[in-house]
Structure 1
Amino acid sequence: MQWYLDAWKIDEVWKISRGQGITVALIDSGVNADHADLQGQVLPSAKEGDSDTQGKGHGTSMAALIAGTGKGVAGHGVYGIAPEAKVLPYQVPFNMGVLGMGAMIDALNAAAESSAKIINVSMGSAADPGLAQAIALAQSRGKLVIAGVGNLETPVSGGRAYPAAYPGVLGVSAFDRSGTFWSGSYQGDLVSISAPGVDIVSACNGPTGYCKGSGTSNSTALASGVAALVWSQHPDWTANQVIKVLIDSANKPSDGSGLDNMLGYGGISPRRALGWTGDPGPPDVNPLVGKRGDPPAASASASPSAAPSAASAAPAPADSPAPVQAAPSNSGGSSNNLIVIGAIIGGVVVLAALTVLVLRGRRRPPPPAAPGAGGEAPYADYPPPPSREP
């Protein structure tokens, strides 16, 4: 059952917008365009060999959450949040290694020059200069980049998954059907917004054609669907304005902070976003730039003149976990080099031990091995969901 469709009162939402005219570039494991819920929804890929043959079909699941039509199994299929949007797939190796990173960068560069307005990346990896440059190119071309912040079951270096942690990228965490932050999601200043990610049923390549799973990949795809609804309603807006309305209209964290390390600016709300009457902000200012703590070398803003808004500069709540700081270098001019070297080695060992303890303390019991950094464990096969009339 697609529980979030009822929670979001999606039937009312679709009276306003169904994502018409919006293309979402999907950088993932490929898409099975022959799945009944996706027939007619997938544009010809920019390169050959983009059919989804990796595992249960992660990319197929993401495509269905974005733009599924629900036509599978005599109307028992999966509905995407934006069923009149289109998906443009770019297949990359799902296990992100050196070759996978090159494919990811190539896909981002191609998507930046495509007709897609939104780029969905439901995976993550360590930082990479080429990846940062590809994100900067996409943003300079006016694309809205939406990426998952990653799952604890597939740890990434330092707990920061990229491209979600790059400035200006809408990083998405996950919450469950009660609206509670999912404990399997990474948290931190890379989180911009949150969306449903737990017990999500979607199309896949399994025996029934449907699978169920949990993870920030799901929440990322659903956030892309909501962004498509908003941009279809306001085709004259820029990516920066769509971002501002999504974060301004989100259901704020319960502590009233307006911004936290788990839910970001809050839970994304299609009804509130489509009914938003506030100022969408200047078209050339990304409200997320200035919020993150990336070093300057990894920064990539969409516009050289973009300055952070007041909201983007808001500090994290006082009770947010403090990042582990590297030990300061010894500048006292000691003549005993062995002591200095020993102190450095000792500091590295202590820091490594602390990092392991922090990750273990935040991690839930380990599920089955996941296919790639920032991705879910393979979906479990699931019977077709109940029929739903649009």
Structure 2
Amino acid sequence: MKRPLLKLSMLLVAFTIFNACQKDEVLEMQEESVINDDQKPALTIPEINAIINQSLTETGTFDWKDVTPHTLWSAVIRGNNILTIGYGAEGESFAEVKTESLKATLSNLIQLVEDSEDYKKGDKPVVEHDIINVIDMEVANFSTIKQLLQSDGVRYLEPNGYNQYETVNNGRSSSGCDKDSNTINSAHYTTIAPNNAQVSWHFYKHNIPQAWSQSTGAGVTIGLIDTGVSASQTLLNSSGINDGYSTGRFVQKYGTFIDSSWWWSDNYDGIHDKCGHGTAMASTIAAPRNDNGMPVGVAYNANLVAYRATEDVLLNDYHERKGVSDALTQLGNRSDVKIISMSIGYLWSIGNIKDAVEYAYSKQKLIFAAGGTSTSFTNGYGVIFPATMSETVAVTGVDDGSNYDRCEVCHTGDKIDFTIIMEGDNNTSKAPPVLGFYDGDRRYTGGSSVATATTAGIAALVWSKYPTWSRAQVLTKLKQSSEFYPNKNSSFGYGNIDALQAVQ
């Protein structure tokens, strides 16, 4: 009887040893999987895009802070090794004068990257932004990402060079660009003095011509951040902007967009539009009222400061993102600029632009941003960044039917603040006419872009009428002059603005 018990005991011992070995193997496999995370190759572009798509589909937004360190590192690798580091305490997005604490944080982070990447100071470029607390550095090692994520003083890490999300031509796109002219139907404008100045049909839907008896935007300076203004459209240059009923004002052009395959380059691409989008927005805002038989701007006596900060309307490129952030901080530093108009954006928040918006907002700028216009890239998405920010005023377009319906390509959502009529009922082809890219040309253009520019112009009319008002007072007046006030619609905000009521 003892032998079976002995055999059973031996079997139990063997099973225990086997089970222990199995557990050890499982633990070893788990340890190897953790270790192998460091050894895994970078995710492919389709794999990264699938993660982004899943977040956008499930939550309607995406943020790099929500991905794994490996995914973040993969996007850095696939984005020309550019890592943008937002530093400082939480909420410390900018500083006109760096404190000793900020300087120490910055120095420590740069030293960490240099040590982890094994290069000496000065071997690799470091791009430091002037006002916002952001640096851009070249990073190749996964260990660098992990160390930074565990470091004090890091607000965010973003792969700002990653421009491969459903774009073409190596990350470059032509979204919103159009330099062609159109034959304008005479039913789509009305002529007024002096001698055939043309007023877009949609101006009358908002009582803008009626508001001109009270204000024309004189004394107000509007900053436009876009693709620039065409050198070939003299009515938007210093030689033609003061003409007819438009007098005593100025236009200034600047360029912050860098056209280079080298991310650290300072090869600025000039001040003039090469796309056509910025020229159309400038026309909507401030085209002169004269006898040339051309479209008139909403605030035809306002000053215009135009920045070529982007290549097109889609902020998918490192140089565009930096260009916009630089333009925002520069306009923020101008005491004469009261309004900033941005008919550009992206599907999710971009850290260095967000920081710069917060800086401009801290300088009391009234910032208008486009809610989104569908292209092959953005179709199907809701309100886009930076219109999603509380510091911006989000605008979109609707049609002129009796029921509120968004224009065919316009985005809507609970972040929208105002609407402007952009097309005919039932998606008919009527759109606002604007100055073309070349002298003598006109074209149609619409969407949330022109809606935003139109609203910026109306705000200039209000501020010109009440020059001592604060940003809050002007914004309140716009709300009070809108169709749904004091209520806010879940898709259209306060609705269509009555410009005449706004200046009374």
Structure number with the bigger relative contact order (C-alpha 8 A, sep ≥ 6) is 1
Supply the AA of the counterpart residue of 2:228. G
In the TM superposition, 1:1-390 aligns within 5 A as: 1=189, 2-32=200-230, 35-38=233-236, 39-40=240-241, 43-47=251-255, 49-54=270-275, 57-71=276-290, 74-92=291-309, 93-94=311-312, 95-96=314-315, 97-114=317-334, 115-125=336-346, 126-153=348-375, 154-155=377-378, 159-178=382-401, 180=404, 181-198=406-423, 199-205=431-437, 209-252=441-484, 258-275=487-504
Q: Is the partner of 1:251 in helix, strand or coil?
A: coil
Measure the CA separation in 2 of the matches of 1:158 and 1:182. Answer: 14
Deviation beyond 6 Å, 4+ runs, structure 1: none
Inter-CA distance 42–212: structure 2 relative to 1 (3 Å threshold):
farther
Contact 2:232 2:439 in 1 (8 A): no
TM-aligned CA deviation for residue 112 of structure 1 = 0.8
Segments of structure 1 that go 5 or more residues without pairing to the other structure are 276-390
What CA deviation, in whole Å up to 9, does each residue of 1:108-143 have, x standing for no partner?
111111221100001111201211111111111010
Structure 2 CA distance for aligned equivalents of residues 247 and 63 of structure 1 = 24
Paired residues of 2:414 and 2:492 also in contact (CA < 8 A)? no
C-alpha change, 1:232 and 1:217, in structure 2 (3 Å) is same
Paired position in structure 1 for 2:14: none
- TM-score when normalising by structure 1: 0.64
Give the Å deviation of 1:34.
5.2
C-alpha distance 33-84 of structure 1, shift in aligned 2 (>3 A): farther
Question: Match of 1:140, as an amino acid?
Answer: S
CA contact (8 A) 2:286 2:297 kept: yes
Offset, 1:90: 0.7
After superposition, the Cα gap between the structure-2 partners of 1:122 and 1:210, relative to the gap in structure 1 and judged at 3 Å, is same
Q: Name the SS of the counterpart of 2:433 in structure 1.
A: strand
User: SS of the counterpart of 2:216?
Assistant: coil
CA deviations 1:219-252 (Å, max 9, x no partner) are 0000000000001111111112111111121012
**Higher strand proportion (structure 1 or 2):** 2
Specify every segment of 5 or more residues in structure 2 that has no aligned partner in the other structure, as ranges.
Answer: 1-188, 190-199, 242-248, 256-267, 424-430
- The 2-side partners of 1:33 and 1:155 are apart by 29
One-letter code of the match for 2:324? Answer: M
Task: Give the superposition deviation at 1:212.
Answer: 0.4
Give the Å deviation of 1:268.
Answer: 1.4
- How many angstroms does 1:197 deviate by? 2.5
Q: What root-mean-square deviation, in Å, do the aligned CA atoms of Structure 1 and Structure 2 show? A: 2.2
Deviation of residue 42 (structure 1)?
5.1
Whether the aligned pair in 2 keeps the contact of 1:22 and 1:117 (CA below 8 Å) is yes
Between 143-152 and 32-41, the greater mean CA deviation after superposition: 32-41
How many residue pairs match? The answer is 268
Of the two, which has the highest radius of gyration? 2
Cα distance in 1, alignment partners of residues 399 and 380 from structure 2: 26
Q: Contact conserved, 2:207 with 2:498, CA < 8 A, in 1?
A: no
Structure 2: distance between partners of 1:272 and 1:53:
37
